[in-house]
Copies of this chain bind each other. A is one copy, B any other.
């Protein structure tokens, strides 16, 4: 049986592989990149290493990240995602080229409820050809699940494209 450490490593390795693949898929597109949830900022830090920092907007309820992984104030959408995602749609329209979300709680059924609830908030933000990388299965109507890249573990990360 896999330990929690095994599962966690699979999740982190898959997340990195899928983010790298997602960034490559949208390399020729314009438009903002959205990170849903900042946490300690490790993943945001990685996104900043593969994408222009000025394109990345972070949605977070309250910032508690490592100082070297904290977005500039004007790229932080502070508040509940059910409020801030509609505000982002008003501001940006359907222009996002990449969205990442690590719902990442310990409770998979709770994550699934959250994934179902936020899917319709995320889907309209993406441009045609835009990509969503998620730690959980999402529930989209106009986006297609695409094959995982090398090193990503089936079921630990998901990639969708509009």
**Minimum CB–CB distance for A149 against chain B, Å:** 15
* CB-based contact B106/A4 at 8 Å: no
Closest to A16 in B: B5
Interface of chain A: mostly helix, strand, loop or mixed: helix
Chain A interface residue bracket vs B: 20 to 34
Hey, what's the 0/1 contact readout for A124-140 against B, CB within 8 Å counting as 1? 00000000000000000
Give the contacts of A64-91 with B (CB-CB under 8 A): 66, 68-69
How many copies, total? 2
Determine, out of A25-33, A37-45, A115-123, A153-161, the stretch whose residues face the partner at the interface. Answer: A37-45
What are 22 residue pairs bridging A and B, where the CB atoms are less than 8 Å apart in the complex? A2-B49, A3-B42, A3-B45, A3-B46, A3-B49, A3-B50, A4-B41, A4-B46, A4-B66, A4-B68, A5-B42, A5-B43, A5-B45, A5-B46, A6-B16, A6-B46, A9-B9, A9-B12, A9-B16, A12-B12, A13-B13, A66-B106
